[in-house]
Amino acid sequence: MQHDEVIWQVIRHKHCSYMAKIETGIFCRNQYNVTGICNRSSCPLANSRYATIRDHDGVFYLYMKTIERAHMPKNLWERIKLPRNYEQALEMIDKHLLYWPKLLQHKVKQRLTKMTQMRIRMRKLALKTREVIIPTPRRDIKREQRREVKAEKAALLDKAIETELLTRLKTGIYNDIYNYPESLFNKILDDGKKIVNEVEEEDKEVGVIEYVEGDDDELEEEMEDMEDFSGFPSKESYLEDSDEEDEDDAEEQVVIHKKGRALKKSDDNGKSKKKSRVVVEVEEEDGGTRALKSLKL
């Protein structure tokens, strides 16, 4: 009884394990404290007559301590179960804390109110689905990341996707949809040589050019030629003169024709560069190549 003051002096000024000093104030961690603040009137150690409310699993109990049991720590706190109903609980507190200091009664009732409110809120929250944060040890997180990197390397994703697409193509579900004709595609798949051969054949065809006899046009062209080329080398002039002396006008054409031909031939030999004209050569063996040459002119 008289101990209270002494105890308080010692606790407050020396050391109390339950005291927690934060920037907002000084708090008491003792479970039996009514208000939670470290005070002369709120300290459960420094008050021989004390009352609190504590809750176990949602049930509220009124704890009371009197000076008569101060020497029996085991039976120090008397526990009374409070009813679930808030008003009834208040009445019960009134009944049990009758003749107790007003401050204590008031604080105990305040505590009851607060705890009831908390209980209601906790129940409501428990009904809702809440996210639970489960911490994983850093070792596991690192291990997972390492394994993921290795798995990605082992996966060879692009290659896998490409092979899968190829197998699907081969089964033929894409047919009729694709941008190249199927026949060509099959050829490609089967034999690559054919394509190379085809290209060569075309080349040969390109080289060979067939000519059909054209009549007057040719003669006229040759005539024009002759007009243009007045100054010929001596060989040609010889031919010209000899022919003309021998034959009459009736054979003029033929003569001219012959001349033309002769001229043409000599032309080919001598002055192939002047004329950029297609030459008709059919029967000779080297005809093809000759024709080619003139073409290139």
Residues of this chain that bind other proteins (CB under 8 A): 128-129, 131, 140, 143-145, 147-148, 150-152, 154-155, 157-158, 160-162, 164-166, 169, 173-174, 177-178, 180, 185, 188-189, 192-193, 195-196
Least spacing, CB of residue 202 vs other proteins, in Å: 17
Angle, CA of 7, 9 and 12, to the nearest 5°: 100
Nearest residue (CB) to other proteins, 120 versus 160: 160
* Beta carbons of 45 and 30 less than 8 angstroms apart: yes
Least spacing, CB of residue 190 vs other proteins, in Å: 10
As a whole number of angstroms, the distance between CA 82 and CA 60 comes to 6
Instruction: Name the H helices within 138-286.
Output: 138-155, 157-171, 182-190, 193-207, 216-228, 234-246, 252-269
What residue type is assigned to position 256 of the chain? I
Least spacing, CB of residue 282 vs other proteins, in Å: 37
* Beta carbons of 44 and 33 less than 8 angstroms apart: yes
SS3 at position 211: coil
Token digits of residue 196: 């190379």
- DSSP symbol at 115: H
Nearest residue (CB) to other proteins, 182 versus 220: 182
Of residues 254, 261, 251, the one with CA closest to residue 226 = 261
Least spacing, CB of residue 173 vs other proteins, in Å: 7
Token digits of residue 178: 């694709």
Least spacing, CB of residue 154 vs other proteins, in Å: 6
As a whole number of angstroms, the distance between CA 160 and CA 162 comes to 5
Least spacing, CB of residue 55 vs other proteins, in Å: 23
Nearest residue (CB) to other proteins, 72 versus 199: 199
Nearest residue (CB) to other proteins, 189 versus 212: 189
As a whole number of angstroms, the distance between CA 211 and CA 138 comes to 89
Least spacing, CB of residue 156 vs other proteins, in Å: 9
As a whole number of angstroms, the distance between CA 77 and CA 32 comes to 10
Nearest residue (CB) to other proteins, 121 versus 274: 121
Nearest residue (CB) to other proteins, 137 versus 231: 137
Least spacing, CB of residue 84 vs other proteins, in Å: 25
* Axis-axis angle for helices 193-207, 182-190 (nearest 10): 110
As a whole number of angstroms, the distance between CA 259 and CA 226 comes to 10
Nearest residue (CB) to other proteins, 140 versus 249: 140
Nearest residue (CB) to other proteins, 169 versus 223: 169
